[in-house]
A and B are shown apart, each in its own frame.
Chain A
């Protein structure tokens, strides 16, 4: 089944404790992206990657890191999480330049930083 898999689904952590949210897709998509979703603010892009070893900042990159060492994986790293990073996070992937466009989203990770 074509899908984007994120883990974990829920995470509660303490301020300053490094964490990684994993994202993997099995559709051979070039483009992968991380979003956070907050009430009233919608989906905001954190980082995106157009291919292996090519990453770039989205609209709200502060406090986050990403890497794209393999095409299928795009982990999101919070080196020192803070309470303002409490949010619902989505990983998404798509074909680059494909005629049908559109993202396939992961199931989301609800992160709480206390």
Chain B
């Protein structure tokens, strides 16, 4: 059965700290891994990763994929209160004629001022 597991479930840090969020997966026919940030309502897209070892970066956020060990990490440096959110990891899997995303349950990050 395809699954995506995120850890930790929840994290509380102070502003300025660096955090690392983890996502491991077991899926057939892996195509890509995506990170989303969910604040009040709809998730918003952060990164898509398809190749091992290539870091994607956007400001203080960065992410990398290891396709051999089947995991990805999302790093946030110099955290701010606006980073407080649930971070979702999703894996795109394709089999003949079908195409689906499997989501993890998310990591809830709270950044204290």
Contact = CB atoms under 8 A, between A and B. Distances in A.
Interface of A: 31, 33, 35, 40-45, 48, 50, 56, 58, 90, 96, 100-108
A102 B44 CA distance: 9
Interface in B34-54: 34, 36, 41-45, 48
Given A101-B92, A108-B41, A42 B103 contact: yes
7 contacts: A42-B103, A43-B103, A50-B99, A101-B92, A102-B45, A105-B43, A105-B44
A71 B78 CA distance: 43
Contacts, number: 48
B99 A107 contact: no
Which of B44, B99, B101: most chain A CB closer than 10 A?
Answer: B101
For the complex, would chain B's binding face be called helix, strand, loop or mixed by DSSP majority?
A: strand
Contacts of B31: 101
B21 interface: no
Interface of B: 31-32, 34, 36, 41-45, 48, 88, 90, 92, 98-101, 103-106
A57 to B, nearest CB: 10
A100 B88 contact: no
Contacts of A58: 100
The 10 lowest CB-CB distance pairs between A and B, nearest first, are: A42-B105, A105-B42, A43-B103, A102-B45, A108-B41, A101-B48, A42-B103, A101-B32, A107-B42, A105-B43
